[in-house]
Amino acid sequence: MALPSVSRRLRHPFPFAILAIALSLSTGVASAKLRVVASTPDVADMARQIGGDRVSVVTIANPRQDPHKVPVRPSFATRLHRADALVVQGLGLEHAFIPALIEGARNGNILPGAPGYIDASLYVKPLQVPSSQNRSQGELHPLGNPHFNLDPVQGKRMARAIAEGLERVDPSGADDYREGLERFTTLLDEKIEEWARLAEPLRGVKVVSYHNDLIYLANRYGLLQVGTIEIKPGIQPTPGHLENLLRLMKRENVKIIIREISYDPGVARSLAERTGARVVPLAVMAGGLGPEGYVDSIQANLEALVGAVAESGSP
Ligand SMILES: [Zn+2]
């Protein structure tokens, strides 16, 4: 439809000016980056690794926040309004902020089910899915445990879903996204081999964590999670719960307490003092322990855990 109109206009007294504008517009479109908003630092890093120069990525959650409690900022709705794609970790992890931001953004491209809504949980098999509507895992994990990003093998699945999503939104970049995925997956495969050796001392180690977010990581490396400081995800401990946990830790000889960095250090410290266990910080989102990026964050988590196990003499 546009071509005949341009050719007609070329007979106009100022055809070159019009042509120049048309060319500059088309060049502008060709060189524009895909505007990607990412819910968490993990999926943001993957989108950057896979998309390279083709994408410009903005992250909503800060690495040191609790992903279940990220505040809704209007500035992010504005970003989402102009976004070509939204990448989420999914499985309800971002329930505190993504549904509200999507509603505020009024952008049909990034609604769930639209091509620009990229759900990194697509190929992940969820664990701890509630068998009924009894909310046995509290209000925060109604679709199953959403903390699969802590297991790098799940990370490969996340990367695949993200690469496919970027290609869906920007088919002209298909070769680049496939290459980016290949590069990232090759790096992860190398690291996964290394990490299997590094994490060998974790096998059979009993731990308590603050929040119920270890299942995928524990299954991968053989950690045994015997309890959590929270009663259920999002339900703060009562004195009675802490007394029971204390008895359980003594009985099971638990020497490691994992404190996800957004959680109160006081409770973990007091449990540690009463049981002789060590408190280990853990990043539930990439960058929480300092090193940024998905791969470096997994490395930092595993080093922190292995270091603490070596010092505690556990198991
Ligand atoms: Zn959670």
Break the chain into its structural domains and give their ranges: 33-125+137-195, 199-312
Mean pLDDT of 215-220: 98
Question: What does the pLDDT read at residue 134?
Answer: 59
CA angle 122, 127, 133 (to 5 degrees): 100
Give, in order, the Cα–Cα distances in Å from 213 to each of 57, 147, 150.
26, 5, 8
| Cα 172 to averaged position of ligand 1 atoms, centre (Å) | 37
Q: Please report which confidence band the pLDDT of residue 50 belongs to, taking 50, 70 and 90 as the band edges.
A: very high
Tens digit of pLDDT for each residue in 273-303?
999 999 999 999 999 999 999 999 999 999 9
Neighbours of ion ligand 1 (CB under 5 A): 233
pLDDT at residue 138, rounded to an integer: 66
Residue 136 CA to ligand 1 center (angstroms) comes to 13
**Given this model, what pLDDT does residue 22 score?**
46
- Tell me the pLDDT of the chain averaged across its residues: 91
pLDDT at residue 4 greater than cutoff 90: no
Give the pLDDT band (50/70/90) at residue 131.
Answer: confident
Q: How many CB atoms sit inside 10 A of residue 203's CB?
A: 12
pLDDT at 15 over 50: no
Ligand 1 centroid to residue 176 C-alpha, Å: 34
- DSSP SS3 for 104: helix
Q: Do the domains 199-312 and 33-125+137-195 match in fold?
A: yes
CATH architecture of 199-312: 3-Layer(aba) Sandwich (3.40)
Question: What's the gap in Å between 14 CA and the centre of ligand 1?
Answer: 62
Residue 205 has pLDDT above 70, yes or no: yes
User: Which CATH code for domain 33-125+137-195?
Assistant: 3.40.50.1980
